[in-house]
Each structure stands twice: as structure tokens, then as C-alpha cells.
Amino acid sequence: MTSELPNTGLHLTPIRYRDWLISMKMIDQKPWLRWQHPKENFPRYSYPITERGLSDTIQYARFLIDAIIALEEAES
């Protein structure tokens, strides 16, 4: 499933990273990156795509996902 986000030229193609789903959504006419825990049915976490670009924002989301996984593993 691929669709273009209005007025950005960015394409919405959900990707998986360590079983998490990463997607984009327009919120208040700005593109946001959202990521969803594998055990949940909605994306709880999100971050605006900044002027640094989509790649930088995805890298930041992956960093946060890795941190969450480390915290979850420490709890068990």
C-alpha cells in the first residue's frame, strides 16, 4: 500500500523495524512519522518529520524503538 502525502511529495509506504510498524500520517497539515508496538493495534508513538528530512526522522524512530525494546527486556 503506497500513497502520496498531500503537498509534500513524500510517499506513504509502511515499513517494519524489529516487528514494529513505521508509517507516516498528515497531522495538522504536517507530515508525522508514527510507530506501532507489535502487541498493539494502533500507533502510540509519533514524531514530526523535520527539515532534516525523512531519513533522519526514521533513524530517530529506530533509536527510540531500540531504547523501548531494551527497557522491555530489562523488565523481564
Domain count along the chain = 1
Please report the pLDDT score of residue 6 as a whole number.
56
What band does 21 get if pLDDT is binned at 50, 70 and 90? Answer: very high
pLDDT digits (tens, 9 = 90+) for 39-68: 999 999 999 998 999 999 999 999 999 999
Structural domain boundaries, residue 54: 3-75
pLDDT digits (tens, 9 = 90+) for 32-42: 999 999 999 99
What band does 13 get if pLDDT is binned at 50, 70 and 90? Answer: confident
Q: Which amino acid is at 27?
A: I
Distance CA 53, CA 5 (A): 14
Question: pTM of the prediction?
Answer: 0.81
